[in-house]
Structure 1
Amino acid sequence: MLLIGAALCIALVAMLSGSAHAGVAVEGRNLPMKFSWVACQPNCRGWISAVGIVTAESPRDFDEFARGRQLGGVTIVLDSSGGSVNDSIALGRRWRNLGVLTTVGASVQTNTVQGDPLNMAPVAYCESMCVFLLLSGKTRYVPETAHVRVHQIWMGDRANHARAATYSADDLTIVERDIGRLAKYTFDMGGAGDLLSLSLNVPPWEDLHELSRDELRLTNLVNTDVLDQPGNAALVELKHKPAQGRLVGSAVATETYPEPVKSIESAEVAARVGGVRAAPGQQ
């Protein structure tokens, strides 16, 4: 009965107000990552909503959010276009230490009455470095209607014009170093080398590669088919047409928190937060 109550608490989220909701969701995914606690009733523990791009401030923002909260084993719901490589690694290691459950979704309010509890819609996007945050969960679940997309890491200030840009030996050293760190993190989190292979085969001038259900299992990004742990949120699969005008993210190769060294984020990265670019043919 507890599981049924939790499932009913999160269910019936389809038929949202299409374009308005989609516009808000896209905007949120491309702003600096925001953490918020989502309560649900009556027999549901709630979850953390993590929406937006990982920046140099994100690990510290999460530490501040977590202060005074008992977050061991909590569910973290991701809706993100990616962000900084090393800051995502730092954040992911914090989450693994908490033994969290990770999934992809959007926290939405289906009623107009202020104060009504939010529900979890499994129609959301996890792109670029968000995929490696998803990997940090001890338990990892991806709904059928969620979209998980990968590509190469790149210098954030040159992601939009990667072919035309010039690169120094130092730039290449930074990218190769970050690939090595990402590889170690992937294996530490229990991911497969296939995840790195699929990601590193997609340059920034091509569309992101959306992982199929088979690839989600091959890469070990998914290690459960049912999100039904007692006391946590339970997702009900809802068929929903993906929003148009979707933005996709470009990961940023940076040297930032937790290493006590100077950040190398570029002016464009600072201005655009993660080097987010529009997919070809989209605005």
Structure 2
Amino acid sequence: MRSVTSLRLCGLALLAAACITLSGTVTTLGGEVRASSSLEERKLPMKFSWVGCQPNCRGWVSAVGIITADSPKEFDEFARGRQLGGATVVLDSSGGSVNDAIALGRRFRSLGALTTVGTSVVNKTPQGERGSVVPEAYCESMCVFLLLSGKTRYVPQAAHVRVHQIWMGDRADDAKAASYTAQDLMIVERDIGRLAKYTFEMGGAGDLLSLALSVPPWEELHEMSPAELRLTSLVTTDAVADVLPQQDTTAIPVAEAKPKDRDRFVSSVTEGEAAPHATKATKTAEIVVPTGGSATPSSAQPAQ
């Protein structure tokens, strides 16, 4: 039996295909809209970009993709030279590494960031490019704990916030049949403890951990209801104006997105394995996600 030194958070991702195509464009009554992310980008390691909404408002940070071991460092590089204090982070992610999500969430909180769920788009208008947010987006698995890092947190009605258990990702596709060592159990329990500490630091409720840890990897992710979002303290406001800058939406309609087929994805990266970007079709489609480096027992890298 091989030695496992990293824990993977089994993430079952939903991709909002919507009217955003792989080329990243949609059309609205207000003219052409260019999406800042595509479906393919959502399956790749998390990327950060600044979306402006000039001339009448401040922009926001778009965070799209899977949280990997490189994500905290890449955010630090992105933030260097930018005034991000109190900025809004718009999330569209199927989760990723537990410990790296915790590190990234603490960076967000240190900036006094606000958080929400959505897909950022750029509207091409006669006055120039303006950013807007499509509310039809997904925040799953460890993304939910990034959402929790915001000092103010808003979830639009069209967004999907979904949770499930931490698990060994290399065995998540057949979790019941897999074998586990005492070391595996130690890693799981250790990281649950780290996640619990972080949750309370961010002002989250124990109900969030209880709900997430009750959903095993062989079941569908649990989509949280508006009441559960409130109960777990994931939502702190019902007003989008509390997290997103105001702009003239009468002249530039926000793109409407409609979900297509819902695909399930599980991370299957194990220590030392190469991680190509391509996906392969299986009973539950499998996505192999780059982690940016191998883990050690003292720094587990749970991934979705």
TM-score range, shorter chain: 0.7 to 0.9
Contact residue 50 and residue 59 of structure 2 kept, 8 A: yes
Contact residue 147 and residue 210 of structure 1 kept, 8 A: yes
Structure 1 residue 228: Cα displacement: 1.5
Cα deviation digits, residues 215-256 of structure 1 (max 9, x gap) = 0000000001112249x524989795642233456589xxxx
Contact residue 19 and residue 243 of structure 1 kept, 8 A: no
Cα deviation digits, residues 75-124 of structure 1 (max 9, x gap) = 000000000000000000011111100000001234499x6223211110
Question: What TM-score does the superposition give when structure 1 sets the normalisation length?
Answer: 0.79
Closer/same/farther in 2, CA of residues 199 and 105 from structure 1, 3 Å limit: same
Structure with greater strand share of residues? 2
**Structure 2 CA distance for aligned equivalents of residues 94 and 50 of structure 1:** 13
**Structure 1 CA distance for aligned equivalents of residues 144 and 118 of structure 2:** 13
**Structure 2 CA distance for aligned equivalents of residues 70 and 45 of structure 1:** 11
Alignment of 1:70-149 (within 5 A): 70-111=83-124, 116-149=129-162
Q: How many residues align?
A: 254
Contact residue 81 and residue 276 of structure 1 kept, 8 A: no
Q: Percent identity?
A: 62
The residue aligned with 1:246 is: 262
Which ranges in structure 2 are unaligned for 5 or more consecutive residues? 1-17, 27-34, 288-304
The residue aligned with 1:258 is: none
Which ranges in structure 1 are unaligned for 5 or more consecutive residues? 1-15, 253-263
Secondary structure, counterpart of 1:183 in structure 2:
helix
Contact residue 125 and residue 148 of structure 1 kept, 8 A: yes
**Structure 1 CA distance for aligned equivalents of residues 283 and 130 of structure 2:** 34
Contact residue 267 and residue 286 of structure 2 kept, 8 A: no
Cα deviation digits, residues 173-215 of structure 1 (max 9, x gap) = 1011101100110011000011011101111111100000000
**Structure 2 CA distance for aligned equivalents of residues 208 and 234 of structure 1:** 33
- State the one-letter code of the partner of 1:271: A
1:266 aligns with 2:252: no
Secondary structure, counterpart of 2:173 in structure 1:
coil
Q: Which of 245, 248, 259 is the aligned partner of 1:233?
A: 245
Closer/same/farther in 2, CA of residues 198 and 240 from structure 1, 3 Å limit: farther
Please provide the CA RMSD for this pair. 3.4
**Structure 1 CA distance for aligned equivalents of residues 99 and 82 of structure 2:** 25
Q: Which of 170, 178, 186 is the aligned partner of 1:165?
A: 178
Closer/same/farther in 2, CA of residues 47 and 101 from structure 1, 3 Å limit: same
Closer/same/farther in 2, CA of residues 171 and 49 from structure 1, 3 Å limit: same
Closer/same/farther in 2, CA of residues 120 and 73 from structure 1, 3 Å limit: same
Contact residue 110 and residue 118 of structure 1 kept, 8 A: yes
1:202 aligns with 2:202: no
**Structure 1 CA distance for aligned equivalents of residues 153 and 283 of structure 2:** 27
Structure with greater helix share of residues? 1
Question: What TM-score does the superposition give when structure 2 sets the normalisation length?
Answer: 0.74
Structure 1 residue 157: Cα displacement: 1.4
Secondary structure, counterpart of 2:57 in structure 1:
coil
Closer/same/farther in 2, CA of residues 18 and 25 from structure 1, 3 Å limit: closer
- State the one-letter code of the partner of 2:236: N
**Structure 2 CA distance for aligned equivalents of residues 163 and 184 of structure 1:** 28
Closer/same/farther in 2, CA of residues 138 and 277 from structure 1, 3 Å limit: farther
